Chains A and B, each alone.
Chain A
Amino acid sequence: MARRGRAGAALSISAVGSFFAGTVGTIIIVIFAEPLTQMAQKFGPADYCSLMALGLVAAVVLASGSITKAISMVFLGLLFGLIGTDVNTGAQRFTFDIPELSDGIDFAPIAMGLFGIAEIVVNLERHLERGGAIKVGSLWPTREEIRRSIPAILRGTFLGSMLGVLPGGGPTLGAFSAYTLEKKLSKNPGEFGKGAVEGVASPEAANNAAAQTSFIPMLTLGIPSNAVMALMVGAMIIQGIQPGPEVMTKKPDLFWGMIVSMWIGNAMLVIINLPMIGMWVKLLTVPYRYLAPAILLFCCIGAYSLQNSTFHVMQVAIFGVLGYVFVKLGCEGAPFLLGLVLGPQMEEYFRRAMLLSRGDAMVFIERPISLGLLITTALLLVLMALPSIKKAREEAFQEEG
């Protein structure tokens, strides 16, 4: 739509659609959080362990490229998550006598290195130059555009909310499914990519609805369903909050405060963004050679400020190099990150479960919840290996790239 001079209308439709979807998503969280939390309290250690396995496998669905590689990345992440002091015995593991590592490896510098630094380096290599000025045009959509976008927004919201709750789902999956759905429903699919308003409204709504509902597994079960939620878990742990069912029962003010803040955030998005669209568009034209050093600088200062230690800055550098290697080898960072976040918890639950069952691994199959989760996990793995699904998955990633 930008090329037809309707970028302004597209942006305002997507902002309003996002706001609507965000509101619906928030309401869904409010409705489902309580029963899910109660369910989560029935979970034993074995069930948790299986649930995490399901979450990790689901994360693999989202990674592009080879499934074996993505699973290996999960295990690599789990292994990195073990660095630090063993909770049960106090033994130092893989710390190489570096005192800073005994608390476990910090999450934020790794994310900065893997995603931030590696991304910058790759962009510098490609000599990224941004396109020239974009004409924003009028912000007001025409009546025709409004008429066409309302059902699209509703469909997108519904689809996004559903996909967001699934482990491994999330905003990107929601947006792409919504786009495909609109394209299939449309009478003239040829318009897509050339300014069809449904193509903007529905994915934007789905994106936001999914972004909200993907909080559900994290808030109620403590399991992040995608890389963004993994970052949220990391952020909460830094603040001393262990995500999980206890958050809602023990700190209801925090829990509901967070939900209200999500809704306020959605409202602010509309209020702030609409008048300032012109400015954001200008910001996009800042050349990369100014931006790259600035991003690096903020990453470094941010890493330092975590614990006032330059050790974290060095960690950013190390994981920047590792992230670059991952990119070059076509390994996805997201499964690694999820493994890293879930690693320590998973080990704890695993050991507790085995201790309770006196070393009998059958406990994972004997408990009905755990068994159900494990069967789902196995099904997911088998499904992904099926040729037809494999092909569809590859196509989905083709469109994205």
Chain B
Amino acid sequence: MNRFVTKDFLSGLMFVAFGLAALYFGQHLAVGTPVRMGPGYVPRMLSLILLALGAVVCIVALVSGSEPVERPKWKPITLVTLGIVCFGLLFERAGLIPALVVLVMISSLAGEEFKLTEVIGNIVVLSILCTIVFKVGLGMNIAIVQGIW
């Protein structure tokens, strides 16, 4: 088990996976000949090289060992990603301020300390700052709150 959960072995697997995915999704592209290369020639070549390199990384990792992967903490990465996705979904539909509030709230939860008063203070400062800089200063064509401003 530990032999396989190492940084090098898993990255090798990742390269192999990307190589296979590129081969699979690129299979409809015409390869052509070296003189008249089709759109698929270079992708095919690169995926095959990546596959080979990935395999080498895997084998070397198994033979000579490598560092174990640190246990990932799921909270920060999940919450930060969720925050960005929510921002993306809300930004055009609801406007800058609602998206900002949601993003700052969610990403503040990702840290170890969470004090509501501090987060609210942060939100207020950032809202004012962003409104002044992006809407007034740079004149970006964005809605601060959709339908109102």
Q: Which residues from chain A sit less than 8 Å from chain B, CB to CB?
A: 66, 68-69, 71-72, 75-76, 78-79, 82, 86, 88-89, 91, 93-94, 96, 117, 120-121, 124-125, 127, 288-290, 292-294, 296-297, 299-301, 304-305, 308, 310, 313-314, 316-317, 320-321, 324-325, 328-331, 347, 350-351, 354-355, 358-361
- Docked-complex contact B29 and A310, CB < 8 angstroms: no
Q: Is B124 close to A, CB under 8 A?
A: no
Q: Is B146 close to A, CB under 8 A?
A: no
Q: Mark B2-43, 1 if CB is under 8 A from A, else 0.
A: 000001101110110010001001100110011111111111
Closest-by-CB residue of B relative to A321 is: B81
- Docked-complex contact A68 and B53, CB < 8 angstroms: yes
- Docked-complex contact B91 and A313, CB < 8 angstroms: yes
B12, B26, B33, B112 pick with most chain A CB within 10 angstroms: B112
Shortest B5–chain A CB gap in Å is: 11
Point out the residues of chain A lying under 8 angstroms from B112, CB to CB.
124, 127
- A75-B49 contact in complex given A290-B122, A301-B130, A304-B91, C-beta closer than 8 Å: yes
- Which listed residue, B72, B84, B88, touches A328 by the CB 8 Å rule? B72
The size class of the interface chain B forms with chain A is 35 or more
Q: Which 9 A-B pairs have the closest CB atoms?
A: A359-B34, A313-B88, A359-B35, A86-B39, A91-B39, A124-B76, A317-B84, A329-B11, A330-B7
Point out the residues of chain B lying under 8 angstroms from A125, CB to CB.
72-73, 76
Q: Is B140 close to A, CB under 8 A?
A: yes
Q: Mark B82-124, 1 if CB is under 8 A from A, else 0.
A: 0111011101100010011001100110111100001000100
Point out the residues of chain B lying under 8 angstroms from A69, CB to CB.
8, 11, 57
- Docked-complex contact B107 and A293, CB < 8 angstroms: yes
A190 and B108 CA atoms in complex are apart in Å by: 43
Q: Which residues from chain B sit less than 8 Å from chain A, CB to CB?
A: 7-8, 10-12, 14-15, 18, 22, 25-26, 29-30, 33-43, 46-47, 49-50, 53-54, 56-57, 60, 67, 69-70, 72-73, 76-77, 80-81, 83-85, 87-89, 91-92, 96, 99-100, 103-104, 107-108, 110-113, 118, 122, 126, 130, 134, 140-142
- Which listed residue, A66, A79, A320, A360, touches B57 by the CB 8 Å rule? A66
Point out the residues of chain B lying under 8 angstroms from A89, CB to CB.
38-39
- A292-B107 contact in complex given A301-B130, A320-B84, C-beta closer than 8 Å: yes
- Docked-complex contact B34 and A93, CB < 8 angstroms: no
Sample of 7 A–B contacts (CB below 8 Å): A66-B8, A66-B60, A75-B49, A76-B18, A79-B50, A355-B35, A360-B34
- Which listed residue, B14, B49, B77, touches A324 by the CB 8 Å rule? B77
Shortest B7–chain A CB gap in Å is: 4
Closest-by-CB residue of B relative to A305 is: B140
B contacts with A: majority SS:
helix
A45 and B73 CA atoms in complex are apart in Å by: 47
Closest-by-CB residue of B relative to A300 is: B87
- Which listed residue, B43, B60, B92, B134, touches A301 by the CB 8 Å rule? B134
Point out the residues of chain A lying under 8 angstroms from B11, CB to CB.
69, 72, 329-331
Point out the residues of chain A lying under 8 angstroms from B53, CB to CB.
68, 71-72, 75
- Docked-complex contact B107 and A296, CB < 8 angstroms: yes
A104 and B142 CA atoms in complex are apart in Å by: 25
A301 and B118 CA atoms in complex are apart in Å by: 22
Point out the residues of chain A lying under 8 angstroms from B118, CB to CB.
289-290
- Docked-complex contact A359 and B33, CB < 8 angstroms: yes
- Docked-complex contact A79 and B87, CB < 8 angstroms: no
Shortest B58–chain A CB gap in Å is: 10
